[in-house]
């Protein structure tokens, strides 16, 4: 998301273009790997590499500070979805320990025109998102795990992404913050 003028102004791009590009990526991966599990893995890896760069963009634009609470993190992840995908997933299903929550998507720009064929039932079409979350959080010294528990493409009513806090990466914390 680059800028046009000197002012901070997100360059708006038609979400359909984005949806189709992502679709092209996934179909190409399916052709290249022929194995759904490998595609899931590859999507996660690509997402990770995007996440470690995207986090800087998020921090530079929002100027948000460090999270000292996972609820804080949840809200920031939510605002990240707003900035980069233009959607606001709802945060629900907090675990009693407060270390896991779910993001529920009513609409998802990634899957707008998608119907999964029969041989792809194990495909996690949006798996790139789990990688993005992992990469972005890792750069701010937090290890998270995430996975899809419900998927509209598999006839669930919503798409639900579960995010779990694993640990703080203590030795990676920059000087002046430990």
Residues forming the site for other proteins (CB under 8 A) = 1-3, 6, 8, 52-53, 55-57, 59-61, 63, 65-66, 139-140, 172, 174-177
Neighbours of 28 (CB within 10 A): 11
Nearest distance in Å: CB 48, other proteins = 12
- Chain centroid, CA 105 distance in Å: 12
In the complex, minimum distance from the CB of residue 57 to other proteins, in angstroms, rounded to a whole number: 4
Residue number, 117 or 174, with CB nearest to other proteins: 174
86 SS3 class: coil
For other proteins, the closer CB: 7 or 119: 7
User: Least CB distance from residue 141 to other proteins, whole Å?
Assistant: 8
Instruction: Specify whether the CB–CB gap between 133 and 140 falls below 8 A.
Output: no
CB 30 within 8 A of CB 86: no
Comparing CA positions, the residue from 50, 60, 43, 62 lying closest to residue 137 is 50
Q: In whole angstroms, how close is the CB of 176 to other proteins at the nearest point?
A: 3
Q: Which is nearer to other proteins, 123 or 135 (CB)?
A: 135
Q: What DSSP letter does each residue of 13-32 carry, written as one string?
A: --HHHHHHHHHHHHHHHHHH
Q: At what angle do helices 36-62 and 15-33 cross, to 10 degrees?
A: 150
Which CB atom, from 117 or from 176, has the smaller least distance to other proteins? 176
Residue number with CB closer to other proteins (62 or 92): 62
Min separation Cβ 102 and other proteins, Å: 25
């Amino acid at each position: 998301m680059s800028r046009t003028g000197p002012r901070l102004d997100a360059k708006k791009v038609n979400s359909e273009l984005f949806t189709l590009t992502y679709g092209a990526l996934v179909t190409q991966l399916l052709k290249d790997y022929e194995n759904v599990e490998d595609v899931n893995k590859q999507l996660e890896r690509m997402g990770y590499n995007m996440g470690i760069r995207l986090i800087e963009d998020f921090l530079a634009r929002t100027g948000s500070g460090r999270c000292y609470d996972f609820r804080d993190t949840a809200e920031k992840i939510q605002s990240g979805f707003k900035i980069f995908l233009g959607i606001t997933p709802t945060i629900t299903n907090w675990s009693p320990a407060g270390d896991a929550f779910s993001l529920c998507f009513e609409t998802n720009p990634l899957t707008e025109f998608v119907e999964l064929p029969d041989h792809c039932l194990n495909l996690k079409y949006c798996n790139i998102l789990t990688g993005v979350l992992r990469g972005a959080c890792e750069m701010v010294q937090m290890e998270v795990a995430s996975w899809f528990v419900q998927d509209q493409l598999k006839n669930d009513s919503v798409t639900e992404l579960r995010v779990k806090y694993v640990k703080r990466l203590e030795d990676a914390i920059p000087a002046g913050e430990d």
